[in-house]
Amino acid sequence: MQMLKDKQCLVLGAAGGIGQHVTLTMAAAGCNLTLTDQSGKALDDVVRLVKESQEVEVDCVACDLNKQTALELTVDVIGRLAPPDIIINCAGVFDPDNEDYDLFMNVNLRAAWMFAEVFLPGMVRHGYGVMVNIGSSSAYEGYPNTPLYCASKHALLGLSRALHKKYAGTGVRVICISPDAVDTPMGARIPGQDPSKFLSPAYVADAVRNIICNSGMELPEVRLRRSRG
């Protein structure tokens, strides 16, 4: 993956089930990293894992994406540390028992919008950039137990499609990758599912890396499906 060597990669939700695998995969491809997550301790653990296996630069910023002021500060700090060539948005909240509309929309949608608004124009000026939003099969369906999650992921897919069109032809690609259920702590909360049939987070991370490397791919979205057997 020589084409990713020394690229600056920002991973949102870097300590989560998918985010941690994405972080390690992009580090192995030679990217320098800026990582965000809500928990500073969890970020420190991820940084340690990266440093144990790869010789890349790593910065991290703890941030509660549900809080507007914290989000704005984080965007400012990242802009001064190392503006990204690649943004991989793995941040997300999923809780079938939570009906906090603002929480779902702030974390699952607003954060992606703000990072895109701030950093994609700079990518255009450099003639290269990729933003990957991790969506969900819930972006294409409606599930009665998770209406707010479904709504937020539909919105994230719509945002990704719109940004894909906005930046077409500039050298900047925006892609929404929507996996079926993934074997993570978040995935374990999905009601009525068989975790043995879930996708592995390593598979999702590999797909993210491969799609980023495929510079000729101009699709706005990709679905990762699991076996139905």
Largest alpha-carbon pair distance within the chain? 49
Are 135 and 221 in contact by the 8 Å Cβ rule? The answer is yes
CATH number for 125: 3.40.50.720
Beta strand 8-12 with 129-134 is: unpaired
Taking only the tens place, the pLDDT of each residue in 131-186 is 999 999 999 999 999 999 999 999 999 999 999 999 999 999 999 999 999 988 88
Give domain status of residue 216, yes or no: yes
Domain assignment present for residue 91? The answer is yes
Under the banding of pLDDT at 50, 70 and 90, the label for residue 228 is low
| 229 found inside a domain | no
What angle, 0 to 180 degrees and rounded to 10, lies between the N-to-C axes of helices 40-53 and 17-28? 30
Q: Is residue 22 within 8 Å of 46, Cβ to Cβ?
A: no
Task: Inform me whether the pLDDT recorded for 194 exceeds 80.
Answer: no
Q: What angle do CA 63, 163, 211 make, to 5 degrees?
A: 80
Whether residue 228 lies inside any domain: the answer is no
> Which residues form the domain of 70?
2-223
d(CA 229, CA 19): 27
Indicate if the pLDDT at residue 193 is higher than 50: yes
Domain count, the chain: 1
Residue at 127 is within a domain: yes
Q: Is residue 168 part of a domain?
A: yes
Q: Burial, 141: exposed, middle or buried (Cβ in 10 Å; 0-12, 13-18, 19+)?
A: exposed
Condensed to tens digits (0 to 9), the pLDDT of residues 76-95 reads: 999 999 999 999 999 999 99
Residue 209: which pLDDT band, with cuts at 50, 70 and 90? very high
Rounded CA-CA distance 12/10 in Å is 7
Percent of the chain with pLDDT over 70: 98
Residue 206 lies in a domain: yes
